[in-house]
Each structure stands twice: as C-alpha cells, then as structure tokens.
Amino acid sequence: MDILKKIIAAKRKEVETFKPMSNIERFEKDGFFWQIANRSLVKHLLLPGSTGIIAEFKRKSPSKGWFKTKELEVEDVVTAYNKSAAGISVLTDEEFFGGDLDDLIQTKVITDIPVLRKDFIIDKWQIAEAKAFGADVILLIAACLTKAEVKEFASYAGSIGLESILEIHNEEELEHCCDEISMVGVNNRNLKTFEVSMDTSLQLIDKIPAGKPAIAESGISDVETIKQLRDAGFKGFLIGETFMKKEQPGEAFEEFVIGLTPSRD
C-alpha cells in the first residue's frame, strides 16, 4: 500500500468515528467562526509586494518523522509567520503529521492573515469542521478525490465563505479543475512515494487555467527557487519543512524573507 492510500484509509476511519459526534447543523449553530467573515488568500497572494509565501506549521511528516515535538506551541512560530507571509498553512492530521484542530484555532485567533487547513478532505463534513475551527481555506487533493467530489466540495466551501485549493501532481489531475475552485496548487512531492521534484511545477504551470492563482508546494528551500517559480507564473509558494526543521522556525522564516525580493507583479 502506498503512503497516500494508507493515510486515506486512516482518515476514513477517523471521519467515521467523529462525524456522528458533531453534525454539520451543529457546526452551523455553535461554530464561532461561522459567524465572522473569512480572510481571502487569493487577495493576499495578488497584493502588490506580497511575498506569496504560505508558511506552514507542521510537526512531522510520514517520510521524515518528527521535526518538532508536540510541546512546541503554535504561537511561537505563527506569530513570526504573520509578519510577512501571504497565508499560514496548518497541518491538522494527527496520526501522520502530528497536528490537531487546536493548532488551527490558535493560529486563527493570534494572526490576521488567511489560514489554510491542510488535511486530507474526503467528506463535506470536514469542510464544515474546518470553518468551525477557523479555517479560511481548505485543500482538496485530486489524487484522492473524484472530479465530482472536487466540484461538490469546492461548491460547498464557497457557499460557506471558504476558498479552496485544488492540489494536483500531474497533467491528468488537471482535469479535476472546475469553476468552483479558487486556486490550483502543484505539489512537487509525489504523495504515493513522497519523492520531490521541482520540475513538476515548471512543467504544469502553463496548463493551469487562467484566473486560478497557481501555488507551488513542497521542496522549496531557497530564495532563488521562488524567483524562478515566480518568473514562471506562480503567485504562491507553500513552504514548511524549510522552516520547521530549523531550531527556531520563526527566525528561519524571517531570515528567508529578508533575502526575497518584492514581487514584480
């Protein structure tokens, strides 16, 4: 079984366990963040001078293990991210990435830029949950969803004020694009093997539909790579391990931004 199939199998069991405890109607009624306006990642990516960086908070990965222990407070990292990032990505999967929904809600209340819930969405219920815990944006991974599911989930997300990123890894998955999607992310990491190649983004950028801001994900570890991707047409750059592997992730992020020239849009 490849890594993605293993993650999705576990995610289905997780949803089956927790879904009966809080239905969508309860999220709509009791979820605090259902009552306030969401922040737009699209707008932040397109702002003149935006770094375009979506800085990620994650404690571990299936392929590399733990970067930081559970004792690391999300506030220690995302406060620094909030100064210059276009958005913040928070891993909420616990079993494989060491995250949880508390990280998401804490990030939302101490920042003022858009927050992406990074997880493996397989059920509309998770989208309602994301809204209730403070997400502004959700990720929809083409590799584990049908075209119909992407359209349904993106449409529902939009109806409750959330933006959506369709994550693809190859040209075939571009067929999952639909009007309801807000942005398209190209994951340079193969989720089946977790191997990384920056060529993936460069090969797919010209095929992404106009009007859908493009985001390069994974494997970005230096400023020159961002410049290359920006010149190719990318508006966003999701970076996590580059910062989280350092002793002080917030400081690593700030040093990275210093070396990044302003957007030439």
* Catalytic residue positions, numbered: 56, 58, 118, 167, 187, 217-218
Q: Residues 6 or more apart from 139 whose CB is under 8 A from it?
A: 116, 117, 118, 119, 121, 164, 165, 167, 185
Q: In the chain, which residue ranges form alpha helices assigned H by DSSP?
A: 3-18, 24-30, 41-46, 74-84, 101-110, 124-132, 147-159, 199-204, 223-232, 241-244, 249-258
Q: Residues 6 or more apart from 115 whose CB is under 8 A from it?
A: 39, 87, 88, 89, 90, 104, 107, 108, 134, 135, 136, 137
